[in-house]
Amino acid sequence: MTNLLSNFCLASAAPGAATLSPILLGPSEAQLILALPIIGLLFCTLCAIFRVKSKAPAFFTVACLAGAFALVVRLYLNKTGTPVITSGFEWFFLEWGDGKGQRLVANFSLYLDSLTILWMLFVTGLATLIALYASEYMAGDLGTGYCRFFAAFNLFVFSMSCLVMGDNLLLLFLGWEGVGLCSYLLIGYFYKKPSAVEAAKKAFIMNRIGDLGLLMGIGLTFVHFGSIEYRDIFHAAQPYIEAAKAGKYNEIPFLVQLIPVLLAIGAFGKSAQIPLYVWLPDAMEGPTPVSALIHAATMVTAGVYLVARMYPLFLLSEYALPLVAWVGALTALLAATIGMAQFDIKRIMAYSTVSQLGYMFAGLGGLSSTGAAFHVVTHAFFKALLFLACGAIMHGFAGQLDLRKLSGIRRLKGWGIVSFGMLVGCLNLSGFPFTSGFFSKDMLIGSEFLTPGMAPIGWILLFTAGLTAYYTFRVFFRVIVGPLHYEPGDELHSAHDEHGHGGENHNEHAHVQDDHQHHDHGHGGHFHPHAPGWAINTVLLTLSVLSLSASALNFLHLPNQPHIEGGIVPELVMESSAAYESPYARHEAHEGTGDGGHEGPDAHGTPSYVPTAIALDDPHAHAGTFLGWNPHAVMFYVSGAVGFIGIFVAFVLHYVGRTTAATAKADALLPMLGPIPGWAQHKWYVDEFYKYSIYWPLIILANLCNLFDKLIIDGIVRLFGAIPRWIGNTIRPTQSGELHGYAAGMAAGVAVLLFIVFILTLR
Amino acid sequence: MDQIINPLALYAACGLGAVGVCLALPRKDGKNPQIVGALIASLAGAIVLLAMGLKAGGLLGFGNSPSVYFYIFGAVALGASLRVITHPRPVYAALYFVLSILATAGLFLILSAEFMAFALVIVYAGAILITYLFVIMLATQAPTEELENALADYDTQAREPIVATAAGFILLAVLTTLLFRGTVDLPSMKSSGGEALMAEMPRRIETALSNANKLPSGAHVVINDRNQANVDFAARKVEIRTASGETSLVDLPADLHVTNVEMVGFNLLRDHPGSIEIAGVILLMAMLGAVVLSRRQVQIDEDAKERRAQNLAAELAQGVETNP
Amino acid sequence: MQNAATPISAAAAGFQIQDWWLVLLMAVPLAFSFIIAFGAPHRARATALFGTLVAAALTTVVLFQFNWGNGAAFQFQNRIAWLPSLGISFSMGVDSVAMLLIALTGLLGPLCVLASWTAITDRVRTYYAWLLALQAAMVGVFIARDLILFYICFEFTLIPMYVLISLYGSTNRKRAATTFFLYTFTGSMIALAGLVYVAWVNAGLPKDAFEGAGTWTFDIAVLQQAAQGSLTMAQQSLVLLALMAGFAVKVPLFPVHTWLPLAHTEAPTAGSVILAGVLLKLGTYGIYRFALPFCTGAFIQYAPFLAVLCIIGILYGGLICWVQTDMKKLVAYSSVAHLGFCVLGLVALNTAGIQGSILYMINHGLSTGALFLCVGFMYERYHTRSMKEVGGLASKMPIWATFMVFFVMASVGLPGLNGFISEFLCIFGTFQASDTWGKGVWGSSGAPVPGATPGNLGPWYALIAGLGVIVAAMYLLIMVGKVVFGPLREPGAHGDAHGSHGESHDSPGHLPADLTAREITALMPLAIACLVFGLYPMPLFDALKGPVGETVAMVQDVRENGLNNGAAKTASVIDAREGTR
Amino acid sequence: MTTEFTATLAQAGYPAAFQSITLAHYLFISGAMFSLGLIGFLTRRNLIIMFLCTELMFQAAGLALVAFSRFHMNMTGQSFVIFIVTVAAAEAAMALALVVLLFRRRESLDAEEWSELKG
């Protein structure tokens, strides 16, 4: 038993990896980043057990997460540019031989490179801010779900940290599923609402479908590379990368090329891409801080992270990156069209999230992991800001989210910061010039035009950018500005999202149907919107400032590094395993503006493999252009113009001349489009399509199985039971119950036996 | 093969016996020629016995008493048995059964199984059959005045006599075919090895010796550490120790034999002591069971009640008819 | 323990406590069973708790005495002659696989008593006496090194279970108990035929083949050698068929599973817990201990067939779960699906798969046992298991809801909890186990594939089995969504005709709304175990390294050297093992 | 075999008279008695007589046993008869008690009245 416990040792250095560069041990305090949320989780659990009714869990959580953020900052400051590994304890260690690939190792070890640190910076930073926001936002649930919320919140940060920092795919998978669980728990936070429970379930199951792809990808990775640790994988993949560089994709086994596709399926699930995106809009049933943190800023970017992390493998396939790009572009377009037709502002934000995630994937697929990462970071800030502003509105207007019932709330006292935050977020999202969103989006779209064969995607994205600007400012023009009008939401009738001033006599056991608790809110004119308090305002202001200042990232640069277009974030990515930028983009960055891009990258000696099927016929294809101009240079103007057009259209249709909350000029235009807006409003009936094409067939199959089990399988068993019964019934009459019959039978039996003996002894 | 009786003759006899027994069985209408049947059955039995006697060559040797008694007892036993199964009145059947037991006991005596013979008579004829008689008397409807000799249906009417008789005699035929594969003489009692038991009984030897005045005064039969006397069976000598302590061999008395009772006793108590205990327990349990059963109060059946009422009504009607 | 090579000398060498640990493990529950049966009824449950706690403490002691570094070796060996003329003896010994399963049994014992504390109110003595007898029998199965002892204990488990179901079950209990008994009994009779056939073959071998050959013996090690070394492929196939007839019913695998939902649904809570926790594992343990080592060649050949059955079970069971409304039935069908994974890992016949399979036995016992406890606690309060009648209990029973969600997540296979470890390894083992990896199929370049192991399964099997993971999430979350979350629904609230329980709905009987300290005590150890094994399974990996390694080596040997060449090798392996001890 | 055995006996000096009654004689009596008992059991309907017939069959078996005991010179055969008698006595006690009970219930000794075991 002692040796059973003595395994609490640090992960062993793999002896079979002699050819690898020695492991650089990272700072051990990095483990604390994992530990701090766990401490917060334990604290919240204790609070839940002792039914603490104060805000202690929130502030403890904020403290823990802030500590984690500080540690990440420290990591950032101390980073060396090469990946380091910090060993935790052994989780999986299974060995069946001495050779390569005969050892399954997955430890709680952290792989710290600049990509990890980049992700952890905004994850922990945003988590801290949003926890602070939630401390006020969730105050209505003090004593009921408050501790639960923050426990799950901590668990989420822990899982996300595992996902991002793990040094192997299995630890990533742990975090992957862990964030899925937290997402499930937090979407279903208002568990009395059937729609919330349904949404939570949907999110978990949709994610599971992607997870199966990821799991298969992990299996395939192990089988082919003999390890699931990033370091070993990248090492083992080296020969294939060489082959890919030479354009010899036929030397790379099909199964190796399959790995990125499978991983991408996992990423599509987590990051809500076609065909697995339908869970994310429904996930807005959760409390708004959750939507902001998990379903906008961090968790949904896990898919992007996965692709970026495994970028070397994605480069091995001819099909994986085009697949990712097309899926991303189509998702971006589809979600934007749906978003234009929605009335629930949170849902609009959700679809915009799906759309923006599509941008990121398109960026990854368009050979711009740098641009994708840049967009992830900027998007994290402004989308969190937008969600939190929406949340503040929802909080203040008793759950009202319908943009037809809210108007001009900037005119209300105490809503200035919310309005400001909304404006900042909308500007960023719509790519208004010189906002951070503008830079990152430009970088993405520019790369698409640069990369040969990706131009259609660039056009789609450009078009979508216009749609984005339109639907973003549709919200802004209807809700924030215009004539003042508001109606309270239906949460007046429910206790689950309690307001500070209305909940003094709040009954813990109030049920959903209990609607006699809050007379003071009343209806219509009696309703007083409740302006956000200091915590929400602080966070909104901070995020607004951060979102605005994020554009500075474009101009900051890492010391001692060649400058790359896009600033510090792309430079961080370039330091990591995801280091790949379209050779054309790099070329542009060095050449500055001008009419470049017509020269082959080989001229500059940069790595120049183009892992797309499109480029296969000519591996040294020339960089694409945007109508003959250098995409990156032109894109500033083009996308700025597209953004302006979108905003202008929104301005005309939704602001000019609008006198009521419910109607705008746009409504008059709708009939011209025929049934299309209705279809868009119904999300193009994708949910229904899934329901009838997958759900119902499966349910029918399940029922058939159940019947089959009951009738056929159990029937066969019963038949086996029935055979002896039948035989018994058949010979039953022989048992007359009369003594003589038995005696006669006995005598006859004896006679027969004797006769047999007689025959046998007759020689 | 050395058959004691020609199989064909045996089967013929069996068939004959079957016919006889079948006829001898009681029939309700009384038309059954019971006497004829009994005679036929006896004839069949006699044929077989005769044939066997002829083959053995002992039937004619009347001087040989065991064989004579064997035939007498055998005939009585079979005849009585036949009556047991054919007599319509249970009491008579039981009495014939006693007769059959007595005849069997006689056969046992011929087989030198005296103990069994007497045990059979005492236990069976004396105890068990008396119980039967009691029960027969208990469990018989009280006869009415007119129908003093009336018999119950189930006594007068045999059940499927032909089939049953055929089955029984087929069984007998098969059985005897197997048994009569050859003649085997019975060995003498002397070869029984029972004499070896003599050593087990030093006191008896001592008594017999002193009765025959072969034992010097003060002398004892030597008892070895197995608690046995040292007997030399071949020379019929036993070791004794005189008062002075010397040991010597003396002849056993000529009439000193191990009796059948002793042999059975040794066999039972030395070889099967556990079985004896178990048999005792069985008897005890049977006694308890009988007590428990007979103490039980039973309600008369609805059917039986109805039947009784009908009988009463019939009797009453008869009574009305006869005694106006 | 040191004298294991000459087992009979144990008694001669004087009393050594190591020799008797296993006897004690079995005797203590049995003794307490008798004490309860003949004791006072009002003390029965306290005695049962005490007895199971003593047994658990004893198990803990033995766990610490066990030499985990040499997990492949059978330790604490002891042999007491029983019917020497037939070569039957009370021969016992445990390797780490058996030890872990014994530990599971010991852990579940007190929890079952705690779960029955208030649920069983009449005929308590009978109940607890049989419960403890059942525990003794289960321990007996795991410690047996003699086929007959194994088989007797294996079969004896049926009797207490039959009593528990038929006397203390719910409405349809008689039929369930009879079906359970006849079904499993029929199967194991066929298995007995197979086992005895092996013994018969061994008795006919020349005496000098190896030690123990040519005599009537039921020693498992000897018979294993005989079966491996001298059965032809056809014979092995038949023996495998016979053994699987017994063990597959017990597991249960796909076509022979219909007794399980019935028995689970009708059994009392503790019965379900034991049934799911340990009794089903007797089947997988039997496959691992007998079917695989006895008929290795046939097992390798028919592995794909078995795997197909497992996969059908996984998907089919999962789909059926989906449309259940009875919670217990749902969990029962989920057992069919889960055990499919377990056997799938076993037939993968590589280290990851077999490790995963054995871990699955333990982890499924923990998580599904706990789920049954949870459902039972709810049933005790509401007297219904229908998901149509109860719902949204999170608002009324938050602690219960927390546990429920926790164990559902463990059962779903959430990484970080125990279910994932085993499920992942089973799927992963299946994934690896293909001879076609790297052999030029699927456009493969033919370059060596480092992470593959030989086998007849492969990625398609893993992929289709993996669909079961999605299905598992669906049905379990649907259950959670209906019962734990959503608006509160309680039976009787709408005038349901539950006459006798009418008053118990508002304040359910004598029990408080949420879990009592006793019930939390029953669930807590399982929760802790789930979490610890999920995050730190290394002790289990290390413990199972030895036996699994040996099994894989054996399979490898048969694969490489053909059917019967393995005998000599096995003998040498056994010799080597004996020598090292 | 038989002839050898006879020869052995003759060598041992046993008188030929013993040859007249062989084992087969007794066995015939025994078999005939048994058959008669069986026929009686099958044909008679009176429960008491049926029991008498079983006793008759016991007799027959006892006779055969004693004859074999004599033939093999082994006393166990006779001991066995004692047990037969014991069992017969026990059976008689129980059976007759039952018969009384049955009679009290139906006022009839007809065996055909009782067929509760009918399948």
Q: What is the mean pLDDT of chain A?
A: 79
Q: Please report where in the chains the tokens 């970026």 appear, as a residue.
A: A308
Which residues, at least 6 apart from A675, have a Cβ–Cβ distance to it below 8 Å?
A: none
Measured between beta carbons, which residues in chain D are less than 8 angstroms from residue A726? none
pLDDT score for B56: 59
Residue A231 near residue A20, CB atoms below 8 Å: yes
Q: Is residue C296 part of a domain?
A: yes
Counting the structural domains of chain C, the total is: 1
By percentage, how much of chain C surpasses pLDDT 90? 48
Q: Touching check for D100 and chain B: CB below 8 Å?
A: yes
Q: Is the pLDDT of residue A454 over 50?
A: yes
Q: Is the pLDDT of residue C509 over 80?
A: no
The partner residue sitting opposite A754, judged by closest CB among B163, B174, B181, is B174
Q: Is the pLDDT of residue A562 over 80?
A: no
Q: Is residue C496 part of a domain?
A: no
Interface chains of chain A (3 or more CB pairs under 8 Å): B, C, D
Residue A596 near residue A393, CB atoms below 8 Å: no
pLDDT score for A601: 37
Which residues, at least 6 apart from A149, have a Cβ–Cβ distance to it below 8 Å?
A: A134, A138, A141, A186, A189, A287
CB contact under 8 A, B298 and D101: yes
Q: Touching check for B279 and chain D: CB below 8 Å?
A: yes
- What are the beta bridge partners of residue A92? A106
- What are the beta bridge partners of residue B251? B237
CB contact under 8 A, D104 and B194: no
Average pLDDT over residues A498-505: 38
Q: Touching check for A184 and chain C: CB below 8 Å?
A: yes
pLDDT score for A413: 81
Q: Is the pLDDT of residue C138 over 90?
A: yes
CB contact under 8 A, A737 and D117: yes
Q: Is residue C243 part of a domain?
A: yes
Mean pLDDT comparison of A484-488, B161-165, C539-543, highest-scoring range: C539-543
CA distance D7 to chain B (A): 11
CB contact under 8 A, D78 and B115: yes
CB contact under 8 A, B168 and D38: yes
Measured between beta carbons, which residues in chain D are less than 8 angstroms from residue A740? 41-42, 45, 111-112
Residue C27 near residue C45, CB atoms below 8 Å: no
| Closest residue, chain A, to D117 (C-alpha) | A737
Q: What is this model's ipTM?
A: 0.73
CA distance B221 to chain D (A): 27
Domains detected in chain B? 7-183 (1.20.120), 195-253 (no CATH)
For residue A754, what are the CA distances in angstroms to B7, B179, D69? Answer: 16, 11, 22
pLDDT score for C34: 93
CB contact under 8 A, B120 and D32: no
Q: Is the pLDDT of residue A196 over 50?
A: yes
Average pLDDT over residues B134-146: 72
Q: Touching check for D10 and chain B: CB below 8 Å?
A: no
pLDDT score for C205: 84
Q: Is residue C573 part of a domain?
A: yes
Q: Is residue C222 part of a domain?
A: yes
Choice among A493-507, B11-25, B136-150, C374-388 with the minimum mean pLDDT: A493-507
- Backbone φ, ψ for residue B267 (5° rounding): -60, -45
CB contact under 8 A, A747 and D38: yes
CB contact under 8 A, B176 and D86: no
CB contact under 8 A, A736 and D50: no
CA distance D110 to chain A (A): 11
Q: Touching check for A13 and chain C: CB below 8 Å?
A: no
The answer for B 74-133 residues in CB contact with A (under 8 A) is: none
Residue A158 near residue A41, CB atoms below 8 Å: yes
Domains detected in chain D? 3-10+21-116 (1.10.287.3510)
pLDDT band at A659 (very low <50, low <70, confident <90, very high): confident
CB contact under 8 A, D40 and B52: no
Measured between beta carbons, which residues in chain D are less than 8 angstroms from residue A743? 38, 41-42
DSSP secondary structure string for all residues of A473-541 = HHHIIIIISSS-EE---GGGG-STT--TTT-TT--TT--TT--SS-TTT-SGGG-------HHHHHHHH
Q: What is the mean pLDDT of chain C?
A: 85
Q: Please write the tens of the pLDDT for every residue from C473-492.
A: 999 999 998 899 888 888 86
pLDDT score for C407: 94
CB contact under 8 A, C470 and A212: yes
Q: Is residue C26 part of a domain?
A: yes
Q: Please write the tens of the pLDDT for every residue from A310-340.
A: 888 888 887 888 889 999 999 999 999 888 8
How far is Cα C220 from Cα C223, in angstroms, rounded to an integer? 5
Average pLDDT over residues C389-406: 89
Q: Touching check for C481 and chain A: CB below 8 Å?
A: yes
CB contact under 8 A, A253 and C442: yes
For residue A277, what are the CA distances in angstroms to A203, A206, A678, C189? Answer: 9, 8, 20, 53
Q: Is residue C497 part of a domain?
A: no
Length of chain A equals 763
pLDDT score for D115: 77
The partner residue sitting opposite A224, judged by closest CB among C451, C488, C543, is C451
CA distance B163 to chain A (A): 9
A353: number of CA atoms within 13 Å, CB side? 36
The partner residue sitting opposite D52, judged by closest CB among B97, B157, B182, is B97
Length of chain B equals 324
Q: Touching check for C431 and chain A: CB below 8 Å?
A: yes
pTM, full prediction: 0.79
Q: Is the pLDDT of residue C412 over 80?
A: yes
Q: Which domain holds residue C392?
A: 3-491+513-580
Average pLDDT over residues B247-265: 82
Q: Is the pLDDT of residue C103 over 90?
A: yes
A contact set with D (CB within 8 A): 732-740, 743-744, 747
Q: Touching check for A739 and chain B: CB below 8 Å?
A: no
Q: Is residue C268 part of a domain?
A: yes
How far is Cα A219 from Cα A139, in angstroms, rounded to an integer? 45
pLDDT score for B143: 59
CB contact under 8 A, A754 and B175: yes
pLDDT score for C440: 54
**For an interface test with A, which of B10, B14, B171 has the most A Cβ atoms less than 10 Å from its Cβ?**
B171
Burial class (CB within 10 angstroms; exposed 0-12, middle 13-18, buried 19+) of A727: exposed
CB contact under 8 A, B167 and A747: yes
Which residues, at least 6 apart from C12, have a Cβ–Cβ distance to it below 8 Å?
A: none
Which tops the pLDDT comparison, B1 or B139?
Answer: B139
By percentage, how much of chain A surpasses pLDDT 70? 86
pLDDT score for B32: 66
Q: Please write the tens of the pLDDT for every residue from B259-297.
A: 888 888 888 888 888 888 998 999 999 989 888 887 877
Q: Please write the tens of the pLDDT for every residue from A589-599.
A: 444 433 333 33
CA distance A698 to chain D (A): 50
Q: Is the pLDDT of residue C462 over 50?
A: yes
CA distance A737 to chain B (A): 15
Average pLDDT over residues A476-487: 84
CA distance B172 to chain A (A): 8
Burial class (CB within 10 angstroms; exposed 0-12, middle 13-18, buried 19+) of A659: exposed
Q: Please write the tens of the pLDDT for every residue from D32-65.
A: 999 999 989 888 888 888 889 999 999 999 999 9
Average pLDDT over residues D21-26: 80
Q: Touching check for C255 and chain A: CB below 8 Å?
A: yes
Measured between beta carbons, which residues in chain B are less than 8 angstroms from residue D88? 124, 128
pLDDT band at A548 (very low <50, low <70, confident <90, very high): confident
Q: Touching check for B222 and chain D: CB below 8 Å?
A: no
pLDDT band at A763 (very low <50, low <70, confident <90, very high): low
Q: Is the pLDDT of residue C439 over 70?
A: no
CA distance D21 to chain A (A): 24
Picking from B84, B3, B17, the residue whose alpha carbon sits closest to that of residue B45 is B17
| Closest residue, chain C, to A180 (C-alpha) | C414
Average pLDDT over residues B6-10: 79
| Closest residue, chain C, to A213 (C-alpha) | C463
